[in-house]
Every structure is written in C-alpha cells, then in structure tokens.
Amino acid sequence: MSVDGAARSLRILAVDDEPRALLDVRRQLERSPLVASVETATGARDALVKLSGARYDGLFLDVQMPEIKGMALARLLRRFTEPPAVVFLTGHPSAAVEAFEVEAVDFLVKPVGRDRLQTALERVHAHARARRPQAAPAEAAAPAPAGVEEPARGTGGPDVVAVDAPRGGAKRLVRLDAITTVQANGDYARIACDDGRYLLRVPLTTLESEWEPAGFARVHRGWLVNLRRAVELRGEVNGTAVLALDDGTEVPVARRHVAALRRRLQV
C-alpha cells in the first residue's frame, strides 16, 4: 500500500500489562511511516482514562489482562461516538473469532513481525481515512436538568470507571453519567448507580477534583453527588439543605456547601 500523503498521520494507543511486550510493540509502531505518535497504557483502566481524554486512530490491545480483559474493553468502545480501530495482540489464536465479533480490524499473534504489523496499520489507516470525510456532526447531547450546568465532555467518548463488585472481587465498568452518589466509606468510596452499588478504592477528595468536569460536586464531608441527577434542593431551618435526586435518593448538604450549590444549580 502506498503511504503517500498519509505519512506520520496515525495516533496510536498500545495497551499491554507486560512491560517488555508493551515496549516492543511501541518500538515497532514508532518505526512505521504511518504512525505520528504512540502512547501506552499498562491496563484497561489506564487505557480508558486516555481514551476518554483524547482521540486515537488505532488501539493495539492485548487480549489477556488482569481486572478487565481486552475483549470487555473493546465492547465498551462501541458506545464511543468515534471509537478507534481495534487491533488485538495475543499469544492465543483461539480468541480470533471473538475478536472479529467486536469488529476488530485485525488480530495479531505474538511475537508480531514487522510486515504483519504494517499490514495492521494499513487497515487502521484505511479505517481512519474512511471515517474522517464522512464524520457526521456530533449528536446533540441530552439537555441537563433545569438549572444544572452542562459538564465538560471528553473527545474520546463516555467517561467510565472500573469499580469493585461487593462480592467476588470482580471489576465492572460503570459510566459516570449512570452514577448518582458517592459516599465515603473508610479507604473506599461507595458508588451508587442505576444498576447497583459498588466500591472504588479512591479517596473522596480525589474523585471530587477528577469528576468535577463531569458534573459532580461535594455537598457534604461524606458525600459527592452527580448534579445532573438533581431534581430539588430543599433548605432546612438550621441552614443546611437536602438534595433530592431523580432516583428518589436524598442527600444531606452541609451548611458550608449550600450557597455554592445554589449558585451552581441556579436556584
């Protein structure tokens, strides 16, 4: 395939939990005349952070990773407005059928040769070239509840977080817009969302700063709330307040947060 006019145009994200394998694929990708830049992630959770904040043309993804498998991440990408082309990397050829079920553009068996990697990059380039001229205007976002500020949106797709299921030690991917409240629970944060309750081993103060662009606000020492789910703010006689959410949950609002919350909700 000729690369005239396409030299150094692709932005690639490579994901593998094995440092040596990740370094090897990065070096090979950087040698290609099609590749402009290569970023790396050591797992699916790290990859999701990068994918939610930037746009990539191709995702070179290891199939077998701890916590969240490559296939699960690929399925999640289908929810993105403009998902990258997925190329799987694996030492297990038996996973090929499942890879093409999630519409991967290629499936590479480790160790990957230079020519075979270049073929995969050409497919990524073809995918990107076909998508760009036909890119449709972004779908209009659903309006936020009356008076609630619209949160900033990443360019890569919906923000997600990997949480711990209460039993069994499994990981689950949850969209931030599906979360209603986050409650401090010792070293963990207790996540309440549309389909259940989960745990996240991250301090509430960290989530407060990281999730603020997505519409979350600290309303109490022990509570973080998704303001897009707010329906009513009721003042109390002692200067505190109660925030009601669209799922029926009511959260206490500390006195020192009431004024800032009223300004943000414009009530």
**Spans of all domains in the chain:** 10-131, 160-265
Segment 64-74 shows an average pLDDT of 77
Cα–Cα distance, 20 to 34 (Å, whole number): 23
Structure tokens at 79: 């929810």
Cα-atom radius of gyration of the chain, to the nearest Å? 22
More confident: 67 or 38: 38
Q: Tell me: the pLDDT tens digits for 102-156?
A: 778 888 888 888 999 999 999 999 888 876 644 344 443 444 333 333 333 333 3
CATH topology of domain 10-131: Rossmann fold (3.40.50)
Q: Give the confidence band of 36 by pLDDT, cuts at 50, 70, 90.
A: very high
CATH code: domain 160-265 is 2.40.50.1020
**pLDDT tops 70 at residue 246:** yes
Residue 14 has pLDDT above 70, yes or no: yes
Other beta carbons within 10 angstroms of residue 193's beta carbon come to 22
User: HSE on the CB side for 124, CA within 13 Å?
Assistant: 30
Query: Exposed, middle or buried, 78 (CB in 10 Å: 0-12/13-18/19+)?
Result: exposed
% pLDDT > 90, the chain: 30
- The number of C-alpha atoms within 13 Å of 140 and in the hemisphere containing its C-beta is 3
For residue 180, count other CB atoms closer than 10 A to its CB: 20
